[in-house]
Amino acid sequence: MNNPHKMRTGIDRVLHAFVYSMHGLRAAVRFESAFRQEAALAVVLLPAAFWLGRSWIEVALLAGSVLLVMIVELLNSAIEAVVDRVSLDLHELAKRAKDYGSAAVLMSLLWCGGIWATVAWQRWLA
């Protein structure tokens, strides 16, 4: 059995993928408060990355770390949605999957904070 969505090719496939991605971003903003908070922070931090970074490498690290947090949050939200779709019953594997996703978000936040602290240290205190 062929999936009709997998039959798309070329620009048609690209356009549909883009539309689906926009639907995902819209849903994340609408339903995920953590994503909204991170997006609001990104509105401040992404321009600040160009001000704080002294080289393109520093700007890329600063901006990339912020975008990484948002990417990991989207993946975590996807995991949570799939787990909840399967069952809302409490189950050890469901808890573990959600905890892994949450830990990934925490690690991305720590990575982001570490990069920002390091660049700020180099700029003002070193």
Active site residues: 73
Q: Are 83 and 97 contacting, i.e. CB atoms less than 8 angstroms apart?
A: yes
- How far apart CA 98 and CA 85 sit, in angstroms, is 13
* CA–CA–CA angle 71, 75, 78 (5° rounding): 140
Q: Which among 39, 41, 46 is positioned nearest to 77, based on CA atoms?
A: 39
For residue 84, what are its two tokens? 């909840």
The tokens for 85 are 């779709």
| Cβ pair 52, 70 in contact under 8 A | no
